């Protein structure tokens, strides 16, 4: 774990790559200065745990770089991945006593961390931040509803196509030939867990998309999407 010196935090915030997309985007310079006073930068190594399901909710955070997963565990100890968190996303449960899920870094990550109680106090005193939190909460609810629809009604092909479209949108690199390259942060088993499929089904569907000329499998983690419109048609 690595933290930025307090004297440099304000400059870091002003130059932050996610400044215009994060929950602090509507704050004025004075408010940003106050928020910086209660926050700190922290680096996480891939595989490092930030929050634990059912434990006291001590922290909240903005993701600056990297990808993290939200997960829960069933009574028999099986992990269920609930979703992924990307740069500019907000982590944690303000005004909640316990964390409803675990949070683990899938890649080396950089986050802006706040003690939950300090953040709650700031939010109460600054309505624009409270409004932004409400917007984020409603957006997360909408995403959860769409995810339930994906898992409940789509075919395996539609599920995987929808997943790849999201990956391309959030993580893709556009190539000169019009394709999009995606470095997946998840193994095929993890993708299967998210989509409610078996790993064999995920592999079979990827092979079929490749045979149709829609994607190119450069490696087990690198996928080139050659015809995004075809994926969108499949996803519906």
User: Does one domain contain both 33 and 100?
Assistant: yes
User: Does one domain contain both 100 and 208?
Assistant: no
149 token code pair: 């629809």
Domain boundary pick from 151, 183, 204:
151
User: Does one domain contain both 168 and 110?
Assistant: no
User: Does one domain contain both 66 and 129?
Assistant: yes
DSSP 8-state code for residue 25: G
User: Does one domain contain both 84 and 31?
Assistant: yes
Domain boundary pick from 106, 131, 151:
151
- In angstroms, rounded to a whole number, what is the distance separating the alpha carbons of residues 163 and 99? 26
User: Does one domain contain both 158 and 140?
Assistant: no
| Tens digits of residue pLDDT in 137-161 | 777 777 767 766 766 778 999 999 9
User: Does one domain contain both 145 and 165?
Assistant: no
User: Does one domain contain both 184 and 67?
Assistant: no
Residue 159: give its domain's CATH number. 1.10.10.10
Give, for 23, the enclosing helix (H) or strand (E). none
Determine the structural domain holding residue 192 and report its residue range: 154-235
Closest CA to 181 of 150, 218, 137, 154: 218
Residue 185: its pLDDT value, please?
85
Task: Flag whether 187 is in a domain.
Answer: yes
Residue 231: its pLDDT value, please?
94
Structural domains in the chain (count): 2
Distance of CA 234 to CAs 159, 174, 186, 215, Å? 9, 21, 22, 13
Residue 17: its pLDDT value, please?
61
Task: Flag whether 22 is in a domain.
Answer: yes
- In angstroms, rounded to a whole number, what is the distance separating the alpha carbons of residues 32 and 219? 43
- In angstroms, rounded to a whole number, what is the distance separating the alpha carbons of residues 91 and 74? 22
Q: Is the pTM of this model over 0.85?
A: no
Low-confidence residues in the chain, pLDDT < 70 = 1-22, 144, 147-148, 150-151
Residue 95: give its domain's CATH number. 2.60.120.10
Query: 143-162 in b/e burial notation, b at 16+ Cβ within 10 A?
Result: eeeeeeebeeebebbbbbbb
Residue 214: its pLDDT value, please?
96
User: Does one domain contain both 129 and 222?
Assistant: no
- Longest C-alpha distance within the chain, in Å? 57
- 111 Cβ partners below 8 Å, 6+ apart? 41, 42, 43, 44, 50, 61, 62, 63, 64, 66, 91
Find out whether 190 and 71 touch, Cβ atoms under 8 Å.
no
Distance of CA 50 to CAs 13, 26, 47, 99, 137, Å? 21, 26, 10, 11, 20
| Tens digits of residue pLDDT in 157-166 | 999 999 999 8
User: Does one domain contain both 122 and 162?
Assistant: no
Task: Flag whether 189 is in a domain.
Answer: yes
Domain boundary pick from 151, 177, 196:
151
Task: Flag whether 26 is in a domain.
Answer: yes
Q: For tokens 């898992």, name the residue.
A: 151
User: Does one domain contain both 168 and 97?
Assistant: no
Residue 7: its pLDDT value, please?
44
Task: Flag whether 1 is in a domain.
Answer: no
Task: Flag whether 146 is in a domain.
Answer: yes
- 10 Cβ partners below 8 Å, 6+ apart? 32, 33, 36
Residue 3: its pLDDT value, please?
46
User: Does one domain contain both 137 and 230?
Assistant: no
């Amino acid at each position: 774990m690595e933290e930025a010196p307090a004297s440099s935090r304000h400059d870091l915030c002003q130059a932050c790559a996610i400044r215009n997309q994060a929950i602090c985007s509507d704050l004025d310079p004075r408010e940003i200065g106050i928020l910086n006073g209660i926050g700190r930068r922290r680096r996480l190594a891939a595989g490092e745990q930030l929050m634990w399901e059912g434990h006291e909710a001590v922290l909240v955070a903005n993701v600056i770089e990297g990808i993290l997963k939200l997960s829960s565990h069933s009574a028999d100890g099986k992990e269920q991945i609930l979703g992924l968190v990307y740069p500019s996303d907000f982590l944690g449960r303000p005004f909640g006593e316990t964390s409803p899920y675990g949070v683990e870094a899938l890649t080396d990550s950089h986050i802006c961390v706040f003690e939950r109680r300090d953040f709650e106090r700031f939010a109460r005193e600054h309505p624009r931040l409270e409004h932004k939190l409400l917007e984020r909460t409603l957006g997360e609810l909408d995403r959860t509803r769409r995810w339930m629809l994906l898992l409940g009604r789509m075919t395996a092909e539609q599920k995987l196509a929808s997943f790849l479209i999201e990956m391309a949108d959030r993580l893709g690199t556009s190539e000169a030939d019009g394709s999009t390259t995606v470095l997946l942060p998840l193994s095929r088993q993890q993708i299967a867990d998210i989509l409610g499929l078996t790993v064999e089904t995920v592999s079979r569907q990827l092979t079929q998309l490749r045979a149709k000329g829609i994607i190119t499998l450069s490696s087990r983690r690198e996928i080139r999407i050659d015809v995004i419109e075809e994926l969108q048609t499949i996803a519906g």
